[in-house]
Amino acid sequence: MSDTRTSSRSRLLLPLDLLRGFLIGSAELVPGVSGGTVALVTGVYEELIGSASHALRAVKRLVLGPDRLAGFRAEARRTDWWLVLPVLVGMGCALLLVAGAMEAFVTDHPEQARGLFLGLVAASIAVPLRMVPPAPEGGRPGVGLGVFVVAAVAAFVMVGFASGGNVEDPPAWVVFLAAAVAICALVVPGVSGSFFLLAVGLYSTTLEAVDERDLGYLAVFAAGALVGLASFVQLLNHLLDKHRRLTLLAMAGLMLGSLRALWPWQSTGSEASQEAHGPGSLVAPYDPVVGPVLLALVGVAVVVALIAVETRAERRSGAPAA
């Protein structure tokens, strides 16, 4: 990932980037599914992180200097606006159009929904693993394996902390802090921002605010998200540049551990809340069985097809594999 060249994205990709944004936004509405994973699978993850980093640097230079205007223009030129803006528009459309339907699907058909997402996320683990560079000569390959295992275990344990309860009227500062953390989860494959909101009891409250256009709640949430994004994206961009191998292995581990939230057959959340989309104890398969299994296979097939298309495109263009 380069910090110096100006990107020139084809305008013909605009409809596809709108669709990518829509898929990323839709994924973030589902507890246990990461928008970062969708960005990885659709092939725009690193470009989005790099462009977001440049955009944040542009604002920082404009506010703090030195050379405010010149620094702002330089960083703004390095931002791939023809990627960032369509993706943001697509995400916004998903949040406005899909919030109510997505909550209904996940709540009314939890086994089928988790089956589909299990297949998608499980197959998607191959995406960061394909991008991992070989271990340096004289390095310790066991370190990479250790990072992968620790990340997987950490994600598995964190998933178990979700309570499934719901806070009806949260204070503004709680919404602000929750949004700051949830937006960080958005940009990390395998970590679900919606799942974090579910864990702290703000999942249904936030979806209802989106569906009902509660502008006060949404303004506080957006402010927290901007602060969290500004604090985290540049760090992640640095890690991908300087510690690419270990960062990608950690991402793959997080994705593996997050599968615990997507096992189709679970007990419901807390008895008080009865939120079927909340994670519960893992149990043996019960009816329905065929539907979740078939949808999991569909999810795997979709990701495999996307990877195959990406690989064929790379071979035709002569570009190196990601």
User: What size, in residues, is the chain?
Assistant: 322
Rounded to whole angstroms, the Cα distance separating 152 from 130 reads 17
Burial class (CB in 10 A: 0-12, 13-18, 19+), 226: middle
The closest alpha carbon to 269, from 186, 157, 159, 155, belongs to 159
CA 107, 193, 196, 127 torsion: positive or negative?
Answer: positive
DSSP tag of 187: T
The reported pLDDT for the residue numbered 271 is 44
The reported pLDDT for the residue numbered 292 is 93
The reported pLDDT for the residue numbered 167 is 65
Q: Which tokens belong to 235?
A: 């760090």
State the angle between helix axes of 68-78 and 45-64 in degrees (0 to 180), rounded to the nearest 10.
Answer: 170
Rounded to whole angstroms, the Cα distance separating 272 from 162 reads 14
Spell out, as residue ranges, where the chain has pLDDT lower than 70: 1-9, 31-34, 103, 138-139, 159-167, 185, 189-192, 195, 198-199, 268-280, 306, 309-310, 313-314, 316-322
CA atoms within 13 A on the CB side of 199: 19
The reported pLDDT for the residue numbered 290 is 94
The reported pLDDT for the residue numbered 187 is 72
The reported pLDDT for the residue numbered 54 is 83
The closest alpha carbon to 185, from 175, 173, 197, 202, belongs to 197
Q: Chain-centre distance of CA 171, in angstroms?
A: 26
CA 306, 308, 310, 312 torsion: positive or negative?
Answer: negative
A 10 A CB-CB count for 229 gives 19
What is the DSSP code string of 216-262?
HHHHHHHHHHHHHHHHHHHHHHHHHHHSHHHHHHHHHHHHHHHGGGG
